Amino acid sequence: MADRRGDGMRQQPPYSSGHQERVFDGGGGSSGGPAFGNDYDPGSSYMSLLGSGVNPQQLLPAPPAWAVEEVAPPTINITPQFSMANYVPTSSYQQQQHQTAASFVAPLAANLHPYKSSSSSYFQADPLPQWPPRAMAPSPSSSLLPRNFTLHQTPAYPHHHEQQMHMQLLRAAALGGPHAAPAPPIEQPAKDGYNWRKYGQKQLKDAESPRSYYKCTRDACPVKKIVERSFDGCIKEITYKGRHTHPRPPEPRRAGAEDVAAPGSAHQEDELSDDEDDGEEGHDIGSGAGGPAGQRVVRKHKIILQTPSEVDLLDDGYRWRKYGQKVVKGNPRPRYYILTSINQKC
DNA sequence: TTCATTTGACCACTA
DNA sequence: TTAGTGGTCAAATGA
């Protein structure tokens, strides 16, 4: 890869190879107006607190979605199966992940989900992602453990029945039920509704795979994102820079998806995003509307996650692990799932 | 022909 | 001050 020089010059601490989420904002957004990018609320949507009745905001500071750097040190040991898939994403990264990994699953399950909630339909609004990892030989130096990761586990799951139901639906979808969508095609870093153009790729020092640089294709939109993948091709880290100066482009609707997609159309998705932008998130820090892009404003926060179990293993050949739940207006539902481990799905 | 991606090189930041 | 590194540019290439 280009410009790969001086490998080994700088050693990173163990388990420091990724799972950071960073959102840099160039101040392009308005403090009062909607932020079109990074519209995922890291504070209120820390899919933490699975039905625990605890307001995530009580446990987590509400970092602005556009200026977050999660650098909390790891506090627990993760199972060997831990990979990108069960990394706990936050903020924009979480947005990416639940639109990527989750949309990988959710469109399948959405048709089967008994609840026509905004959660399933939210995913449904997304086209099928094209995201399976490339077949790559595992790197012996690659760590499956996340860095800067704090996990709080809860043994009890207050909505176990609901979770089971949802998992069954996901399982049926994964097995290819009558409503199951076709297998997602390959390639597409992270479908988040925006259009990106790759303008660079670079192999970083000690990186498992090259880092890809994307720009928003919309004219004059300063947003860039950097996608770093793990050895198996899973997205390990996504860093956003700046804010979109335009709304999310409308999603093309797939034939046959209208019915289930209706409750969760892009419009509702935007509504959700707007709701999530309420509060401190989305408030610019240090720069008002029209500020220069590229300003790096960083806030640190700790991820808190509570899950009923570390890994939910189904007999469908896939290893499912719920990595979070978002409480939406007092209606908690299992929402974000990610595929991990077996069969190398992300 | 157009547009997106790839990739080598250059620039700027930082320790 | 300098070397290493990450980020970006832009020509080449491919679809």
Nucleotide with smallest C1' distance to residue A215 CA:
C8
Nucleotides of B under 7 A from a protein CB: 4-11
Give the Cα separation of A229 and A345 in Å (integer): 13
Q: How far is the CA of A89 from the C1' of B7 (A)?
A: 30
The top-scoring range by mean pLDDT among A57-71, A241-255, A300-314 is A241-255
* Mean pLDDT, residues A29-51 taken together: 36
Ramachandran angles phi, psi of A69, nearest 5°: -135, 120
Does the structure show a pLDDT above 80 at A214?
yes
Q: How far is the CA of A81 from the C1' of C1 (A)?
A: 46
Ramachandran angles phi, psi of A100, nearest 5°: -95, -70
To 5 degrees, how large is the angle CA A68–CA A72–CA A77? 135
The protein residue nearest C3 (Cα–C1') is A6
Does the structure show a pLDDT above 70 at A229?
yes
Kindly tell me the burial class for residue A264, based on how many C-beta atoms sit within 10 Å of its own C-beta (0-12, 13-18, 19 or more): buried
The protein residue nearest C6 (Cα–C1') is A204
pLDDT band at A251 (very low <50, low <70, confident <90, very high): low
- Sheet with A319-326, edge to edge strand ranges: A312-313, A319-326, A333-340
* Other Cβ atoms within 10 Å of A330 Cβ, number: 6
Nucleotide with smallest C1' distance to residue A10 CA:
C4
pLDDT at residue A203, as a whole number: 80
Q: How far is the CA of A205 from the C1' of C6 (A)?
A: 9
pLDDT at residue A346, as a whole number: 52
Contact residues for strand B with beta carbon within 7 Å: A 1-3, 196-202, 212, 217
pLDDT band at A204 (very low <50, low <70, confident <90, very high): confident
pTM for the whole structure: 0.41
* Mean pLDDT, residues A4-29 taken together: 37
Kindly tell me the burial class for residue A83, based on how many C-beta atoms sit within 10 Å of its own C-beta (0-12, 13-18, 19 or more): buried
pLDDT at residue A263, as a whole number: 33
Contact residues for strand C with beta carbon within 7 Å: A 2-3, 5-10, 199-200, 202, 204-207, 211, 213, 224, 226, 239, 241, 294
For residues A167 and A111, the answer to whether their CB atoms sit within 8 Å is no
pLDDT at residue A108, as a whole number: 31
Does the structure show a pLDDT above 60 at A176?
no
- The percent of residues in chain A predicted with pLDDT above 70, rounded, is 16
The protein residue nearest C8 (Cα–C1') is A200
Tens digits of residue pLDDT in A73-94: 333 333 333 333 333 333 333 3
* Mean pLDDT, residues A205-229 taken together: 80
